[in-house]
Chain A
């Protein structure tokens, strides 16, 4: 039963036909990444005529005789192992027992057609990044494969053979199916001839030297003058148009950055309109509360039962924590408590946070604000100060805070903050004791010239509270 395999290599599509199921399976496995179902075929390759014993171990060679390209054996050239007809775009290859000879013959067919259409095939490794390809031609042991391992930021394109062909004003390179190479293509940007050495050194090569070096690593599928001429013209064009360097490199050192620097392939495309973050980026991701202390000078009825008896962060713990938050991209830092202003190192902490470029937000009951504190907060560039008010009048507020006189001190605190040109927000928690007084508190805010906000008070359930406390204890060893 005749089987047909459709492949595309270096832009050339072919149909390979055979009746030998084993040969078919073998080729299919070798070309698995190059299978194609392109309707238009550039050539047809027929595998037929069993060769149970090959004339010798050597791989078939291509010679031009009597108007035909013949595949022959080196030792017994009289035995025909196949032929290629360039004009009719077909080829016939012997069905060798040695499968590698079949593969080699098929690749020779491709090579001849690539060369006849102006392409060249180089003994080289290749890699690419952002669609830009880099070619590393060289003989065995020059460092072709080694260099690929030292190019972390680049994707490998081929390790052994690469087809290069001019496409309009640029050169395209593509992998050849050998040594498990996968099917990849890229635009050729630079050629580097690798050479192992002590330091990374780039030496720009002139056109002549480049052409000579490319020729040394160039495949000539046949010595036919016309084909050879085409290959030579391709090499000359490549040497003229693509920048070539000799690249001396030491082992185990990354060289992708050096190549990036030299070739400018690390340059980003400029798009002034481009926003990196999405338009609907949620800024709340950049906010983080920091409870400096559980201690408080008030005894608020709705809050006190849930506060631990004690717990204050040490300045060193806070600094370490702030550094971590800054690293994680937190921008808006809410200093809260308890009452954060009772922390003995409040100013040192705020100053450190300012140095770390946080936008500082204070949550306070306002009773401790003096003109001096107001000035200091302004100096430290606090973005907002939230002051908690729990009632529309002294009775309700003082009842809820559990401290007589706290209402006056809070109002006075807000005035001082306002005098210091800080952005003050009168914030309240709606409780059953004060819900009737929300309009009065709103009016109070208006009279003081500050903003007004109702902040929900969420009583943590026991489990949440314990989890929070464990996390707090784990992160902060403060007494």
Chain B
């Protein structure tokens, strides 16, 4: 998955989900699998709104948790990559040339 800090993601319309007591529960209809997201993942999931860039979400995570910027970036990118691979989230704009350096 090509990922840029400028990419904007939205949730896949076909994924049923709820946030229960601060924990997101997602249903993968194809497999019937029910996933529970942890606190940070729930925050990222809720921030994916089809408007915010990946960079904005990283900033939001950094602002919301006691965490270093690098860690917020690592967590966010990892989550977004996994979710995009599983097609649970979809890129709204095509990734730009400027890519994130792999660490």
Separation in Å of the B98 CB from the closest CB of chain A? 28
Q: Contact check: which of B18, B27, B39, B71 meets A268 at CB < 8 Å?
A: B39
Contacting pair B16 A357 (CB below 8 A): yes
Partner of A272, one of B29, B38, B66: B38
Interface size class of A (residues with CB under 8 A): 20 to 34
Determine whether B52 belongs to the interface, using a CB cutoff of 8 Å to chain A: no
**A1 cross-chain contacts in B, Cβ below 8 A:** none
A331: contacting residue among B13, B17, B38, B66, CB under 8 A: B17
B27/A276 in contact, CB under 8 A? no
B64/A267 in contact, CB under 8 A: yes
The interface residues of chain B, by DSSP majority, are classed as mixed
Closest to A333 in B: B16
The interface residues of chain A lying within 8 Å CB-to-CB of B65 are 267-270
Which single residue of chain A is at the shortest CB-CB distance from B75?
A272
A267 CA to B40 CA in the complex, in Å? 12
Nearest-neighbour CB distance to chain B for A387, whole angstroms, equals 17
A326 to B67, CA, bound (A): 32
Interface of A is mostly: loop
How many angstroms from the CA of A268 to the CA of B26 in the assembled complex? 23
- The verdict on A273 contacting chain B, using a C-beta distance below 8 Å, is yes
User: B20, B66, B71, B75: which contacts A286 (Cβ < 8 A)?
Assistant: B20
A461 contacts partner chain B, Cβ-Cβ < 8 Å: no
B13: A residues at CB distance < 8 A: 354-355
Q: Contact string, A319-360, partner B, CB cutoff 8 A, digits 1/0?
A: 000000010011110000000000000000000001101111
Q: Given that A267-B64, A275-B38 are contacting pairs, would A381 and B29 also be in contact in the complex, using a CB cutoff of 8 Å?
A: yes
| B window 1-33: CB within 8 A of A | 13-23, 25, 27, 29, 32
* Interface residues, chain B, with chain A CB atoms under 8 Å away: 13-23, 25, 27, 29, 32, 34, 36, 38-40, 42, 63-67, 71, 75
Mind listing 28 A-B residue pairs with CB under 8 Å?
A: A264-B63, A267-B64, A267-B66, A268-B65, A268-B66, A270-B40, A270-B67, A270-B71, A271-B38, A271-B39, A272-B39, A272-B40, A272-B75, A275-B23, A275-B36, A276-B21, A276-B38, A276-B39, A277-B20, A283-B34, A330-B18, A331-B17, A357-B16, A357-B17, A358-B16, A381-B16, A383-B16, A383-B32
